[in-house]
Amino acid sequence: MSSPAPTRRRTTPPEPGPIRPFHLPDLEGDRLDSGLEVRSMARSELPLVSVCLVVDAGETTVLPERAGLAVLTGDSLSGGTAKRSGAELAEALEGLGTSLRVSTGWNATTLSVTCVAERLDPTLELLAEVVRSPTFPESEVDRVRRQRLAAIRQRQMDPGHLASDELDRTIYPPEHPCHRPLSGQPESLEAMDRSQPAAFVEARYRPDGAGFVVVGDLAADDVLGWARDRFAGWEGSAAPRPELPPVVLPDPRPVVLVHREGAVQSEIRIGHPGPARGSEMENALEVGNAVLGGAFTSRLNLNLREEHGFTYGVRSRFERRRRGGTFSISTAVETGATARALEEAMGEFRRFVAEGPTTDEVEQARDYLAGIFPLRMETAPQLAAGLAEILIFDLPDDYHHRYRDRVRAVSPEGVRDAVQATLDPERAPIVVVGDADALERELEALELGPVEVRRPDDVGVGP
Amino acid sequence: MLSIDFERHELDNGLTVVLAPDPSTPVVAVNLWYGVGSRDERPGKTGFAHLFEHMMFQGSAHVPKGRHFEMVERAGGSVNATTWFDRTNYFQTLPSHHLDLALWLESDRMGWMLDAMTQEKLDNQRAVVRNERQQRYDNQPYGDWDERVQALVFPEDHPYRHTVIGSMEDLAEATLDDITSFFETYYRPNNTVLTLAGDVEPAQALRKVEEYFGEIPRGADPPPVPGRLDPGAVIGSTVREQVRAQVPLPRVYVASRIPPLTHDDFYVADVATSVLSDGRASRLYRRLVREEALAKDVVSYAFPLVTGRSFMTSWVTGYPESEPAELESALLRELEALSDVTDQEVNRAVALSETRLLRQVERLATRADMLSMFQQIFGDPGRLNTEVDRLRAVTPDDVRDFAAATLGAQNRAILTYLPEEEAE
């Protein structure tokens, strides 16, 4: 069989048709007397509603000796309420076809549910009950703690997670919360009982500092009334957040090599501190990141994957927190290609910071980011998470509505300047998780910095 | 509750076209289901369907290597593809004024892919796939569980005996001739469903599809799936494998052959897995995780496969000190206890599935993919709108009968992972 003779129109890409502009739904915002911020968006294509309740109870608000307390609290929150056991609560929610997800990050704890619109009232009632009257039964807290301890063990034996955790440990000083994994460490978790989550909720799950977000098939003017009714009597302010210590990178730049016996691949991380969410440079850095490693057609992926076949993929990203953030390059490569892949990645990183992106690359990245924005804000849960971000990071209410304008205003010089002001490839710590016996000498030969080999005992890994 | 509008057409060359207009946002999802997957691979050629999927992004007669991703990203779209047992899907979601671009790219590789194949591209993507396998299977705790479970559940000559990723030894032998013959055998318009969901005007969209795809010639019907497709309803006994590996926690998998997606009983299997592990009121969570605190986590899943038989897997992850035998007997006990499943449990499973389905179709990309699936497998995209009715028709008696016939000792593959001995 031979290919059909192509018609003339096939030889060049087609021109786009007329643009139909995309509009986010309008956002309604208000604040209750208790301090609870309320945001909503109405849309009615499908009979679904997504609700988020965010509280100022992220992991950066806990003391070092209590590492993991915010996560443990979030995980055991649905262990029981004043009215119901944990099992009864699950029955009630899931009988409505929904489930409560509590996710705790560095910045906040978010309770989210998505339900069929006609079941919103009873769902909200249960959500309010959970946040207002959690009882933290001892058996539930103990179980959740055991699960977290087991999960730490799982993270330590998963090379990708292990590499990411080691990178944070290398970038952040020991007194900084981000030095340790989000969900804590065995020592801190083992010392906890049910009294700590209860006290943590008392101190931090407060309406002044919290936000309530509703998106979906609803009449927007109801939302404020619901919030008043459901959260009546919920009062008080979240305790002040502790100050975070400054981040000073180790000098000279360390190359941490974590030994994993017989590993067929190496997990590579290159990292650097970065700016907080909502910084002036945010969009320039986002465009820059798309060029360097944030998109499939980024420089890093085209080099390491499409040109050299070292990896299934490589990505870079900025994780932006309320205070500060982390830039990282991540990939997994064949053991035999580790040194060459690291050299290529560092080469791209250095060249990008030194020279900045080309005009064409910036145009492509801007069009990509502005174009996929509707896909990032497509569903009720995505929109609800977007509004929750506004509250968590104290962003202006039109933050998402103006996102594409900000991205389109980014220039190549703006990217170069922001990148140079933010990232120093010669100081960026490097972590490799792989077979140290095969890699140590090769990594030393790259002369990127002193190679520090960590054997499983040093990182608390099992066998 | 669900009423997704759609229309269906067939071009002269056999390409089935599903159009599901929804103008609420100026975005369109373009989704193709090729009726070929790992099930179609011959012995010695495993992993081929997936390698081929990678090659489809390496350019075609009028699209240089790397430009497919670049052009879609430049247009503000996202693009990818996946290979599965029974099909290979390709999809992009992009601003609707770039619909032509997606149709041009997809039709160029459907019609003119071979013109652009080179040994260099093949070698490059073979290395990428080797890394994919290492990352997902070889360097990942429990990463090879499906490979082991499939080999226990299906006999040597069944197409689900091997995984989608396949054998790297087989891939090492792949040649450009293999690529050519695979393309000519399976990548034909008459073996394909194209779905457009979102901001499209149906008559205009159909005209465009005709313009871009109409000139691609129909191919011969693809050959039958190789192997013995129906190996029997049950494995015939309880088969076991125990693996000592670099895993953090003991884990026990119990897998069984079940009826295929196309059989009414598949919905019963789906409800059964949901009763077992969907949510915290589910049986495995409530009893093994919460009440008895034996398990750290639990999962139960029925694979939606169509070729002869499918399989269902449940697993229980223990704690460091857990006895695998205890995990196993607790899981088996719960599978057997499905005989007393209640109305309330079935209703809850259906309610959770209903919400999940709404959430899935909220994403245009998923909506398009589901429409392609229902067309490709059932010949009727409209099944998407009535899917919940079929779940709702499942009764506790159905679940009890299913469990008795399907989850007993005559039909179990039990795979146990044990952490390697602690080095003292």
Q: Which tens digit of pLDDT belongs to each residue from A132-149? A: 999 999 999 999 999 999
In a domain, B222, yes or no: no
> CB contact, 8 Å: A62 with chain B?
no
ipTM for the whole predicted complex goes beyond 0.90: yes
For residue B424, the model assigns a pLDDT of 38
Same-domain check for residues B276 and B386: yes
Say whether residue B110 is in contact with chain A using an 8 A CB cutoff: no
Shortest CB distance from A17 goes to which of B100, B114, B129?
Answer: B100
Mean pLDDT rounded to a whole number for chain A = 94
**B109 and chain A: CB distance < 8 Å anywhere?**
no
More confident residue, B284 or A226: B284
Residue of B126, B249, B344 with shortest CB distance to A154 = B249
- In the prediction, which pLDDT does B93 show? 98
Question: Is the pLDDT reported for residue A193 higher than 90?
Answer: yes
**What are the chain A neighbours of B62 within 8 Å (beta carbons)?**
6, 10-12
One domain, residues B206 and B275: no
d(CA B162, CA B166): 6
- pLDDT band with cut points at 50, 70 and 90 for residue A8: low
Residues 249-278, chain A, touching B (beta carbon < 8 A) = 261, 263-265
CA distance linking residue B17 with residue B195, whole number of Å: 6
CB interface of B with A, residues 311-350, below 8 Å: 317, 319-320, 344, 347-348
**At B17, is the secondary structure helix, strand, or coil?**
strand
Residues B203, B57 share a domain: yes
Instruction: Assess whether pLDDT exceeds 70 at residue A394.
Output: yes
Q: How large is the average pLDDT for residues A414-429? A: 98
B203 and B253, same domain (yes or no)? no
Same domain, B375 and B267: yes
Among partner residues B282, B362, B419, which is closest to A462 by beta-carbon distance? B419
Q: What is the pLDDT of residue B421?
A: 76
Quick one: closest CA in B to A113, which residue?
A: B355
- A262-269: average pLDDT: 96
**pLDDT (average), residues A158-163:** 96
A99 to A81, A102, B353: CA distances (angstroms)? 16, 10, 12
Neighboring chain A residues of B126 at a CB cutoff of 8 Å: 309
Q: How many CB atoms lie within 10 A of CB A355?
A: 10
Mean pLDDT in residue range A300-327:
96
**What is the reported pLDDT for B152?**
98
Q: Using the beta-carbon criterion (under 8 Å), do B281 and A94 form an inter-chain contact? A: yes
Amino acid at B213: F
Confidence of residue A463 (pLDDT cuts 50, 70, 90): very low
- Expressed as residue numbers, the domain containing B272 is 237-419
Residue B232: inside a domain: no
Q: Kindly report, residue by residue over A67-83, the tens digit of the pLDDT.
A: 999 999 999 999 999 99
Contacts of A41 in chain B (CB under 8 A): none
Mean pLDDT of A108-118: 97
Residue A363: closest C-alpha in chain B? B74
Tokens for B69, please give them: 């991703």
pLDDT band (50, 70, 90) for residue A456: confident
Between positions 170 and 189 of B, the ones with CB within 8 A of A are: 184
Looking at the structure of chain B, the number of domains it has is 2
Q: Are residues B130 and B24 in the same domain?
A: yes
What predicted TM-score, i.e. pTM, was given to this entire model? 0.96
Chain A residues inside the 8 Å CB shell of B136: 312
Q: Which of B179, B213, B247 is the last residue of a domain?
A: B213
For the cut 80, the answer to whether the pLDDT of residue A393 exceeds it is yes
Give the CA distances from residue A443 to residues A262, A333, A450, in Å, rounded to whole numbers and listed in that order.
Answer: 17, 14, 9
Pair B376, B18: CB distance under 8 Å: no
Domains identified in chain A and CATH numbers: 28-230 (3.30.830.10), 255-459 (3.30.830.10)
Provide the chain B residues 379-418 that lie in CB contact (below 8 A) with chain A. none
Residue of A nearest to B120 (CA): A307
Using alpha carbons, select from A414, A306, A248 the residue that is nearest to residue B120.
Answer: A306
Of B249, B282, B363, the CB nearest to A153: B249
Q: What residue of A is the nearest CA neighbor of B322?
A: A150
How far apart, in whole angstroms, are the C-alpha atoms of residue B377 and residue B373?
6
Q: Are residues B35 and B183 in the same domain?
A: yes
- The answer for residues whose C-beta is within 8 angstroms of residue B191's C-beta and 6 or more apart is B14, B34, B35, B36, B219, B221, B222
Look at the block and give the residue holding tokens 């059909």.
Answer: A4
Q: What is the pLDDT of residue A462?
A: 36
Nearest to A364 among B26, B73, B347 (CB): B73
Please compute the mean of the pLDDT values over residues A398-416 and round it to a whole number: 97
Name the residue among B246, B352, B362 with its Cβ closest to that of A157.
B246
Say which CATH number the domain at B140 has.
3.30.830.10
Q: Provide the residue-wise pLDDT of chain B in tens; the chain has 424 residues.
A: 799 999 999 999 999 999 999 999 999 999 999 999 999 999 999 999 999 999 999 999 999 998 999 999 999 999 999 999 999 999 999 999 999 999 999 999 999 999 999 999 999 999 999 999 999 999 999 999 999 999 999 999 999 999 999 999 999 999 999 999 999 999 999 999 999 999 999 999 999 999 999 999 999 999 999 999 999 999 999 999 999 999 999 999 999 999 999 999 999 999 999 999 999 999 999 999 999 999 999 999 999 999 999 999 999 999 999 999 999 999 999 999 999 999 999 999 999 999 999 999 999 999 999 999 999 999 999 999 999 999 999 999 999 999 999 999 999 999 999 999 754 3
β-pairing, A255-259 vs A325-334, is: unpaired
Q: Is residue B424 assigned to a domain? A: no
Same domain, residue pair B253 and B143: no
pLDDT band at A49 (very low <50, low <70, confident <90, very high): very high
Region A3-24: what's the mean pLDDT? 84
Q: Which of A12, A86, A368 sits opposite B290 (nearest CB)?
A: A86
B189 and B338: one domain? no
Q: What is the pLDDT of residue B422?
A: 58
**Would you call B296 and A87 a contact, using CB atoms and an 8 Å cutoff?**
no
- Residue B299 is assigned to a structural domain of this protein: yes
Note the pLDDT of residue A459: 59
| Confidence at residue A9, expressed as pLDDT on a 0 to 100 scale | 74
Assign A10 a pLDDT band (cuts: 50, 70, 90).
confident
B125 near A CB under 8 A: yes
Chain B, residues 75-104, CB within 8 A of chain A, namely 75-79, 93-101, 103-104
Q: Which residues of B touch A433 (CB under 8 A)?
A: none
CA-based angle A314:A173:A324, to the nearest 5?
60
Q: What is the identity of the amino acid at A380? A: A
Do B310 and B203 belong together in one domain?
Answer: no
Q: Which residues of B touch A299 (CB under 8 A)?
A: none
CA of A96: which chain B residue's CA is closest? B351
Question: Is there a contact between A13 and B101 if contact means CB atoms under 8 Å apart?
Answer: yes
Domain closes at, from B173, B197, B213: B213
Residues B196 and B243 in one domain: no
pLDDT of residue A458: 65
Residue B219 lies in a domain: no
pLDDT grade, residue A11 (50/70/90)? confident
Nearest CA of chain B to the CA of A27: how many Å? Answer: 17
Identify whether residues B204 and B274 lie together within a single domain: no
Q: Is there a contact between A22 and B249 if contact means CB atoms under 8 Å apart?
A: no
